[in-house]
Amino acid sequence: MSIYNPWINKFLLPINNSLINIQVKSNNKNTLKFRYKVNTNGFNLITIDKNINSGGNGFDHISISVKNGKGHINQISKTSKFSGKNMMNLSIKILQQMGVHYCELEDNSVYICQKMRMNYKIITLLKFGETYYMQFGFKPISINNYKNKDKTKLLKIIIDRIKECKWIDLDTFMNNTNIFINHNRLYSIYYITAYDKWNEFKKNYEDKYSSPFDAFKNFNDNTCYLFSIWLDFYIHSSNNIHLYSSFIDYSLIEKCKLNDFKQLYDTLLSVKWINEDIFNLNIR
């Protein structure tokens, strides 16, 4: 089977449907095997092997397509040999070689921490002020706005507001989980665990950061376990504020920035990710 190398100037894909090997990096001869399908409007290129997670579900390492001259990155997932960045760079390089300028990205990125799935867009926004794919020039564009309004500035504003949350306020809110448990016995084990993890998180970072959400600067593979469970509880709380209205003063909900977090969550659900000049990205 021939090896196709998008890292050279003369890169041509087959004219027929086939299985092909594509070189992943310019300085590495390792390849990935793809199923290549041609259609009247463009092509689909999907890796044969999948990334099987702890739940037994399979994710394509790469799934990209071109339709009517527009690129679509439908799935990116790291392999045992190559990082997600390697997969992203390869996808962009292939699309560049096909002359693509406009590209849409399906961003369903997750972070797995001790078998727990975390929303990676939220993590990177809190840690870096931008999502991972923003580093590649992708912008969050409103799906329902006929003017295709860019939501980048809005996301920054929301993140800044969330980081105004103080330790004492979020700690007060977390302490009220006992009241919530009394009303929701079904979830008691989950919320007790979240509360315990919150106390461990607070012990590690309260003296180092002015806000709990500033502490996300320290989020990494070794520390993620301190963030995951209480953050999941907080996200659940922001999406179900009505559950707390009967026993928590609304001013505390405001101080904990639950409404702002709800706006962040909803905004991320209501955008598509677009790069209108992917052709000129400097990919190596």
- Tell whether 162 and 135 lie within a shared domain: no
User: Which residues constitute the domain of residue 250?
Assistant: 156-268
Asked if residue 146 is part of any domain, the answer here is no
pLDDT at residue 54, as a whole number:
46
pLDDT, one tens digit per residue, over 208-235 is: 999 999 999 999 999 999 999 999 989 9
Spatial separation of the C-alpha atoms in residues 143 and 52, rounded to whole Å: 31
- Tell whether 50 and 99 lie within a shared domain: yes
Of 163, 174, 144, 139, the closest CA to residue 273 belongs to 139
- Tell whether 21 and 96 lie within a shared domain: yes
Main-chain phi, psi angles of 131, to 5 degrees: -80, 165
- Tell whether 79 and 207 lie within a shared domain: no
Asked if residue 151 is part of any domain, the answer here is no
CA distances from 244 to 185, 226, 267 (A): 15, 24, 23
CA distances from 85 to 26, 142, 237 (A): 14, 25, 32
- Tell whether 258 and 166 lie within a shared domain: yes
- Tell whether 48 and 175 lie within a shared domain: no
Of 17, 98, 29, the closest CA to residue 279 belongs to 98
Asked if residue 150 is part of any domain, the answer here is no
Asked if residue 147 is part of any domain, the answer here is no
Q: CB–CB of 176/212 below 8 Å? A: no
DSSP character for 17?
A: -
pLDDT at residue 260, as a whole number:
97
pLDDT at residue 56, as a whole number:
43
- Tell whether 129 and 167 lie within a shared domain: no
pLDDT, one tens digit per residue, over 41-50 is: 999 999 998 7
Main-chain phi, psi angles of 45, to 5 degrees: -135, 110
Asked if residue 144 is part of any domain, the answer here is no
Asked if residue 10 is part of any domain, the answer here is yes
Q: Which residues of the chain have pLDDT under 50?
A: 54-56
- Tell whether 223 and 191 lie within a shared domain: yes
Q: CB–CB of 257/162 below 8 Å? A: yes
pLDDT at residue 95, as a whole number:
96
Q: How many structural domains are present in the chain?
A: 2
- Tell whether 160 and 209 lie within a shared domain: yes
- Tell whether 130 and 186 lie within a shared domain: no
Asked if residue 148 is part of any domain, the answer here is no
Spatial separation of the C-alpha atoms in residues 132 and 68, rounded to whole Å: 27
- Tell whether 200 and 253 lie within a shared domain: yes
DSSP character for 126?
A: H
- Tell whether 67 and 172 lie within a shared domain: no
Asked if residue 145 is part of any domain, the answer here is no
Of 23, 80, 9, the closest CA to residue 49 belongs to 80
